[in-house]
Amino acid sequence: MVVEYFHESLVLLRRLMCWTMEDILYVKRNANEYEEKDKHIEPRLVENFRRHNVPDYVLYYHYNRTLWRKIAAAGDGFWPEVRHFDGVIDSIARFCQASIANATLLIPKSQWNDAVTLHGWYCEKMSKRIYDDLTDIYEAMPGQVIKKPPYVPGC
C-alpha cells in the first residue's frame, strides 16, 4: 500500500485478497492532503532527509513501482472501481459528519459490491482509537480480573 494512492491500494488489495467492498470501508480521520504538506517544507530539508534515509526511499520507490505495475495489470475495470469507491467513501464521510445516531446509509449494489447498510453507530465505532476499542472489550468481561493496558499518548 502506498499512502498517496490509498484508494487505489485498497481496491487492488480487495481484488488480490478476494475481499468484499465492505471489507475495505473506512472513516477518514486525522488525514491531510500530501500536496498541502509538501508546500510547507523547504527543498533543502527534503534533500537532507532523503540523503539520511536512503533505505526508506529505496523501499518506497520499490513498492510504488510495484503498485503501479499491478494496477497496469488489473485491467480496464480498475479505474471505474476506484472512482466508485471514492464516491462510497465520500458518502460515508458525509453520513458520519451528520452524526445522526439512528440514521442509516444504504450503499446500493453495484458491479463491485453488494448492497450495504451502515447504521449511525458504525461511524462512532470506526472513529474510535484502537485503545478505546480494547478498553470496551476489557470492560465487557464481567467477573474477570484483567489489567487494562497502559495509556500511550497518541495511540
Taking only the tens place, the pLDDT of each residue in 57-79 is 999 999 999 999 999 999 889 99
CB-CB contact of 13 with 1 (8 Å): yes
The Cα 86–Cα 34 span in angstroms is 17
Element (H, E) at 105: strand 104-107
The Cα 88–Cα 120 span in angstroms is 16
Q: Give residue 155's pLDDT.
A: 40
Cell 499518548 belongs to which residue? Answer: 153
Tens-digit pLDDT profile for the chain (155 aa)? 898 999 999 999 999 999 999 999 998 876 666 555 556 788 898 889 889 999 999 999 999 999 999 999 998 899 999 999 999 999 999 998 887 778 899 999 999 999 999 988 888 777 766 556 666 666 666 655 555 555 555 54
Taking only the tens place, the pLDDT of each residue in 48-57 is 988 999 999 9
Q: Give residue 60's pLDDT.
A: 93
Q: Give residue 68's pLDDT.
A: 97
